[in-house]
Every structure is written in structure tokens, then in C-alpha cells.
Structure 1
Amino acid sequence: MFCPFCGHDLGTVQAFCGSCGKNLQFLTEAEDDRSALDSPTEEDLIRNYFEDGYSHDEILDFLATVHSVKMSLRSLKRKLKSMSLSRKKNYSSPATVHAAIQKELKGPGQLHGYRSMWQTLRQKYSLTVRRDDVMALMRQVDPSGVQLRASQRFVRRVYSSLGPNYTWHVDGYDKLKPYGLAISGCIDGYSRKVLWLVCGASNNDPGVIAQNYIRCVSEGGVIPMRLRTDCGTENGTMAAIQCTLRSPYTDVFAGAASHMYGTSMANQRIESWWSYFRKQRSQFWMDLMSDLRERHLFNGSHEHTCLVRFVFLGVLQGDLDECRRKWNTHTIRPVRLSRCPSGKPDVIYNLPHRFGGTDCGFPVSQEELGQFAVESTYSLCGDAQLQAYFEDLQRQSGLVQPLTWESCVESYIRLKNMAEM
């Protein structure tokens, strides 16, 4: 406590200031009034414990142990009666209880069962109501919630989309990156159609990602309503192009709102597809590259990764194209909790009217795309000098461009030996 006149530290409230001598009696009176307000009365304690659902014995024990208030059971019942507090009389009107339940169901209370709702009504709203009555009202007011809780299943969030091109999900795949093979992919959230699946020297270069985006937009002649990526710097140029192309529009997601950053784990559509991709495709290539490493044919150096890209990139890209084509023409089975339709991704994407969807994309002309000149510093194998060197070795040895993974392995070993790496 400090003196309001001179600022001297008083320690405790005193009648006069030891520094300036001013009368501080008004501070003493204010402190007493504050203490009186802070300390609850006996009736307040009884009411609080009663509304929290404690039994008579528990209330008496709390009063004696925590508050040093000793009282007999008969006195407690008499006080409860004088305060009109009873669990079996003076029930609240059904309309009041119904209104309170409706209010709770608009917020987090929609997750409550009838027992939890009954406790909320007593503690938060000070209502006197039978638990069976709350159960009956919950069945009447919230039948779907009662059915969900009765199934005892964890309710997950459901992905929802208005139609194709509503959201594009973009992400990079790094499982083959230790071997110099970086993959970038994009999938449409509504149809689950893979829009691009490209392998190159890098998926961290903003120019590379932007080129993939512009190529896809140019082929389809449409930009998505929203673009969803993680917070990596490689997505910055693509995000700027998306926001620029969407800036002339006036919808709620126009301009800067047309791109959404988020964590990779929350980018569920593309992350889910990467799981399928590993099971169906990439695990083979990971095992193949791991075998080269175990045979001491690959050591992770810059020269070795460039040679892997030079030899394997064409065949791997062909395999990615085949995987993309297979996925886009296969049938997605119905899922009970999914709001997106089932069927072939290509059909869902191009014929959304058959599934009750609407194409949410916006047309874009080649002239509009022409203003974005995006260049990447990466060559095919990631190093222009090594690229020329490997091409010379290939011509000298008479090797042709490999078409299968077996011929890729043979060409890699032969070029590696010729280069004495």
C-alpha cells in the first residue's frame, strides 16, 4: 500500500502517513469494506455448495473444515428451507428449463449428455429439475445428438466442399528427396482428382512450384476458388499469383482470402493421398534407392544425386504419370461420414452436376497468365555443368535413354564407373 499524497510505501494500511503525515483513515475504512465484500456470508456458502450438488453431510464437512463454521444437520436443513432450497420441491417451470437447454445446445453444451446437462442446469442456471425430465427434454430437443452419443463413437470433423475447383491442396513429397528426387503434387478437394504430380531436382524452389501451378491452370483454363498450402517459402510465388488472379472478383474468398496457409498435417486431402501413394508406388522406388545405397553405389553426395536424377528422372516421371492416370480413373468407394461424392475422380471433376456439385473455378485467359514470367534456376539434374558432363559420357558410351527401372540401374552403374565417382 502506498500513500496517495506522497507515494511513500506504507506496508500495511495506517491511520497517518509516516512521510507526509496526511490522514489516511479513509484507506482503512475502504480496506474494511473490501474485506467485507470479499468474504462470503454463511448463506452464500450454503447456497454455493447446495447448487454444486453436494449432500448435506458434505456441506457440513466443508463448512467445518474449510470455513471453520460448525453447524448441526438440523440447523442446515432449517437454513435450506428458509432459503427455499430443495431438490424435491419448487421445481423450475418446463419452459424455463427448455429455454436453458436450447441456449446450451447452441454452444459447447451440444456435446453434453443428459447427466452433464442436468448438472449444468443446476450449477449455471440455478434450476431445480428432475434428471429424468432433462433426459426426456434432450430426446425431444436434440434427437440427433442423443443418437450420436448412444453410438459411443468418436465424431470426427467432416470435410465439406461445394464442388470441383473449390479448394486445391498443394504439398511436396520428400520420401525420395535423400536420393535427389523431389516430388510436388496437387489434388482437388471435392473430386480428389490429382491435378499434377511432378518430380524434379527440387520442390523447395518457389519458381518450380509456381511453374507447376501455371502449367496446370493453363491446361484447364481455370483457377480455383481457394488454394491450400503449408507455410513453406516455396509456396510464396504461387500464392501471390493465385491472389493476383483472384483480385478482380468480389466473392468472399477474392483477393488475399483465396490462399490459405496451414500446417501440413491439417492439409488432409493431399496428406491422405500421400499415404496411398506410398503404398502403391513410392515404396518400390524407396526400396530400390535404398538397395543402391546398401551396395555402396550411392553415398548421398551432390554428384551421386545429380546422376540419379539424370538417369532415373524420366522413368520415374513416367511412373508418376501412370499412377496419376490410374488414380483419376479408379472408383472411390462411398464413405458413410463423407460429404463428398463417390465415383471416378475424373468424372466427379468434369461432370459435377451428376453428383449435386457446382464447378467453383474461375476462368482465366492465356493473356492473364502471360504476365507471370516465372523462371527456375534448377536444370534437369540440378547442376548444369554435371548435366552437360553426363550427356557427354552418355554419347561416348553409346547408351540410350533408359525406359525401365532395370535399364536405369544399368545406366547409372555404367555412368558412375565412367565418371569414377
Structure 2
Amino acid sequence: MSQSLPEFIQGSSTRYEYSRSPTPEEPDSSRNLRNRNPTGKNQYANCPPPRDETVEFLLRKYHRNGVTNRNILSELLKAEHSIQISPSTVARRLRKLGLRASGAMTQALPESTKRQLILNELDKDPTSRKGPPTIKDEIRQNTGIHLTRDYINAEMHVLDPEGFIIGQPGSRKRRRAQLVLLGPHHEWSGDGHDKLSQIGFPIWGIRDVWSGVWLGLWVLPNNRLKVAIGYLYLSLIRELGGMPIQTTTDRGSETGRIFGIAEALREAFSPELEGLPVHRFLQSIHNTTIERGWLQLRLQWGDNVKVVWEEGRDIYDASDEQQ
């Protein structure tokens, strides 16, 4: 997983160029310029056949997780599963499986269906804290349907205008820096989340910086124990079959164990990467990938769970076996 990968190209699409055939008078160099594969070597010779059950399962899984870009899917399949499929082949298989991106899906669905999907999610948000991106993610996670953010934003202004007033930011925004990454699993971002500890949900998580995919979220009795966090880090490496080039965490006392484990594994298995930092310590506010993930988790789930918890605090009776 530490291999170099092409840079992420957001929203790209394959373009085909048609040109006339070269005339005999034209030099060979001009013909080679039009030949996209002058060596004749097929880099996707080991592409799985159509209807491959593993590929179909993975494409459906990625689609459900919000990954629809053909280039990203091609890279993830190669990096995480050693499956080589070109972006154009990925696009064809998505079409055969009926897995559409948000634009096509929004255009195809009836208006009443789309509006009901939004209403269903608004009903789960009594605090009106969820914005269009969060509602978009929840619809996708719960139904597998992708709607565009613009459509959801417009409908929410009609269905819940007061929610936008409540959600207006009141603080200055920090200036964002551009992330430069080689590809999937170049960098992992890890951190603990304490906002729900008071109701019994101390959480620790790891997120892939390049794709934004959650690699692991765990509820622990104590998310500040070095041994527990080190165990989770090693378990994830074992599950995925490799480790990132770099891991990023805050300076919490529990993250020192991750640093030691990463250093030892780098020295034992990837000595050729000597000189590249295996771990980076940041202030929590600068560990932006994981912090944004916590924000979405709180808006999607945490705030409303706390409201429901408080409503039932005086109702619950530990001695009542019926509860």
C-alpha cells in the first residue's frame, strides 16, 4: 500500500479523440503521437471478466460509500484489492449494475420520491443541525440513492428554511491548505472523539486522507489508553494487509504507541523509505481530515442521540427488567 500512485483527478472523464489516418508522407513520429499505446503492452491484461462477483460486490460497496468517480474506483481497486481495471471498464460495469452518480440519478427519479427521501431524513433531525451535505450522505447510506447537493439544498430551503438560520456559522473559518497525496493509503489520519463520552460512547477512529473513507470507528471503554489504541492500529494494518507511508495524529498521550509501532514496522519491512516521516504530530485543529469526519458524525448522529438520551434520562429504571 506504500507504492506511488497517480494523483487524484476529481470529476474527470475519459475523452476520445478522433483524427484522420496518417498519410504515407507523414513521418513515423507523427503517427506515434496519435498512438496512445505505442508499445502495444496492455496494462489491464489481468482485468477480471464481466459479471465477476467480487468486482460487482466491491463496486456496490464503494458506490454505497459515496465513491462514484471511475478514476478513483480504478485506483482503489488496484491499491486495496490488487484488481486491475481501467477507468473506462469501471464506467461500463457501473452502468450495467445500474449504479449512477448523483446527477444522473437525480434527473431520473420522480420528484415525489426525491422529496420524500429528504423529508425522511429531516424527520430524524429534531435539532435542525444537518446541512445539505449531511442529508445527502444520510440518504446515500440509508438507501444507496445519490442526489445532488444542489437539489437537496434547494428543497431544504423550501422544506426547512428555519434550519438554515440555526445552522449559520458564527465563528471565523480557518484558512485551508491544499492536501498533496500520492493515492489511497498514502496517509492515515487518527484521533479520538470525546463529545459522546458522557453518554457512554468514547470513540476512536482512523480515516484515509486521500479518499476520505473511514477505515475504522471503534467505541471503547476508554479511548485514551495507549495499549487499546495501539491494538486497534495493528488490527487495521493486519486487516488491510499493509500500512500507510505516514500516519497523522494529535499530540495526545495515547498516540505515542502508534508512533513507536509505525517506526518499528517501517524499519523492519520498508527500510527503503528511510528519510520519509512515518508519523506526524499535529494540533487537533490542524488535523483537518479527521476533524471534518467528527463534525459529520456529530451532525448525522451524535447531536440527536444526546437529545434522545436526555429525554429518557428520568424515564429509565435500571431495576425494571421490562426496559
TM-score range, shorter chain: 0.3 to 0.5
Larger radius of gyration: 1
TM norm structure 1? 0.33
TM norm structure 2? 0.42
